[in-house]
Amino acid sequence: LRHMCEVCNVALILITHDLGVVSRIAERIMVMYAGRIVEEGPTLEVINDPQHPYTQGLLSALPQMALPGQRLNQITGSMPSLMNHPKGCAFHPRCKYATAKCSESQPSYIYSGISTVACYMVEDMLTEFSEHDEP
């Protein structure tokens, strides 16, 4: 598919949970949760260093060929109803890093240095690091 896109000079949009396929074909990736983009960036960077907890969860749930007999990791909880979104970040009920503000309002998009992410945890970490870098 990647070769066909290059030869024909066309774009390809994949909608899938199979990040293994995405990593072999796509140059850029957008990870969505409950209808909202939660992380976007160059595929290899996002897959090698995922910033959003949902992206981390998706990648940790991939089967590992080197670990036969091991149970797959899973993201706890269930998807929210798309008819009745929870207040705040839609992923917060399932997120192990969620804080009170995650349940109050949706995070804005922020560039992490690797990808663009909608997550208060990433925002807080970047703020903390930048405060330590100031003289």
**How do the domains of the chain map onto residue ranges?**
2-63+84-133
Reported pTM: 0.85
Distances (CA, A) of 100 to 81, 85, 92: 21, 17, 9
Q: What is the pLDDT of residue 85?
A: 80
Q: What is the pLDDT of residues 57-85, one digit of tens each?
A: 988 887 775 567 777 788 888 888 888 88
Q: Give the dihedral of Cα atoms 90, 93, 94, 96; nearest 10 deg.
A: 110
